[in-house]
């Protein structure tokens, strides 16, 4: 299928604007540029937004709690949302519009996590922050107005990587039960060896060079084939929560996301995978201007409702 015309117009506009590429900047500079790229988002209203801080040893993790307009039942389900950005860029503000939309469409209280970023903090610091927030959210369920027996985790891109790894950690370390995982164009194989990485290496917002920069910042000299950082390389995928995996046709990460869905299926995990034809990496976060992004949010919300209600 050809590239979505609205996406093409967006990409053409970015190309005409010029300027350095993200991987040519320092991480702090790249974070500022990325914040500017999502500045056009128009966040929708939710019932309540609370900024909190969660202690993880000697580090405080900022979190933002979104209560949906119409929570179903007395206590709403919980969705832990982990933002994208290659573990290097992104924060609570860049994830704000998506977190609000998911709260309203799922009926879940969304806890968005401002985990530590690389290269200042390499793996596994970000995952440890996410685990600490999950434990906190379950322990503080009454205060947050959530049902600790109905828990989902989700994330886009690098956040999808962390969400998948969090399910592995909880399974292996007997943490709180996770009922569902929402993985939106996730990074699941940090070797960057799947065909779509080369097929979509240039011209579709997320490039191969940018991916490599993200991985290098995040891993340093760590092994990308380790199941501790690449979910697809885990020793076992059995007994993981049911999953919805969303991919995009013109995304370097397309093939690994779909390979992970197939590997989960072979391991006996219930999984649905949807490829959005004509779309690029990041399209969910462009829901304000892309109909497919809005449709993907509706799909994600419906899947969360079905799994958690």
What percent of the chain is helix, strand and coil (3-state, nearest 5)? 40, 20, 40
Of the candidates 56, 116, 57, 54, the one whose C-alpha atom is nearest the C-alpha of residue 83 is 116
β-pairing verdict for 109-113 and 180-184: unpaired
- E strands within the chain? 48-56, 59-67, 76-82, 109-113, 146-156, 180-184, 243-250, 271-280
* 205 and 232 Cβ atoms separated by less than 8 Å: no
Q: Measured at the alpha carbon of residue 57, what is the angle toward residues 99 and 154, in degrees to the nearest 5?
A: 25
Cβ atoms of 185 and 246 within 8 Å: the answer is: yes
Catalytic annotation, residues: 157, 251, 281
Which residues are CB-contacts of 254 (< 8 A; sequence separation ≥ 6)?
185, 194, 196, 200, 247, 248, 275
- For 163, other C-beta atoms within 10 Å of its C-beta total 28
Q: DSSP code of 42?
A: -
Structure tokens at 172: 């292996």
Q: Are 115 and 162 in contact (CB under 8 A)?
A: yes
The owner of tokens 């401002």 is 114
The dihedral over CA atoms of 87, 168, 279, 284, expressed in degrees to the nearest 10, equals -70
């Amino acid at each position: 299928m050809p590239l979505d015309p609205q996406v093409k117009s967006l990409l053409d506009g970015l190309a005409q604007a010029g300027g350095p590429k993200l991987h040519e900047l320092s991480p702090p500079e790249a974070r500022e540029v990325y914040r500017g790229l999502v500045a056009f988002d128009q966040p929708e209203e939710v019932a309540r937004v609370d900024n909190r801080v969660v202690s993880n040893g000697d580090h405080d993790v900022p979190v933002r709690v979104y209560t949906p307009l119409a929570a179903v039942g007395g206590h709403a389900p919980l969705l832990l949302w982990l933002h994208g950005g290659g573990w290097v860029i992104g924060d609570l503000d860049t994830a704000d519009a998506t977190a609000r939309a998911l709260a309203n469409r799922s009926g879940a209280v969304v806890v968005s996590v401002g985990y530590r970023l690389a290269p200042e903090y390499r793996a596994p610091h970000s995952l440890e922050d996410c685990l600490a927030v999950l434990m906190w959210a379950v322990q503080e369920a009454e205060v947050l107005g959530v049902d600790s027996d109905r828990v989902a985790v989700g994330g886009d891109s690098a956040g999808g990587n962390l969400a998948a790894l969090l399910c592995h950690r909880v399974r292996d370390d007997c943490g709180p039960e996770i009922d569902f995982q929402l993985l939106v164009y996730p990074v699941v194989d940090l070797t960057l060896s799947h065909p779509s990485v080369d097929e979509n290496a240039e011209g579709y917002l997320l490039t191969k060079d940018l991916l490599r920069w993200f991985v290098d910042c995040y891993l340093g000299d760590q092994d990308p084939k380790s199941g501790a950082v690449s979910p697809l390389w885990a020793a076992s995928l059995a007994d993981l929560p049911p999953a919805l995996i969303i991919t995009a046709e013109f995304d370097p990460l397309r093939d690994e996301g779909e390979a992970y869905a197939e590997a989960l299926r072979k391991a006996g995990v219930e999984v649905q995978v949807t490829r959005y034809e004509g779309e690029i990496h990041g399209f969910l976060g462009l829901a304000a201007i892309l109909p497919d992004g809005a449709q993907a949010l509706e799909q994600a919300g419906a899947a969360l409702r079905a799994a958690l209600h």
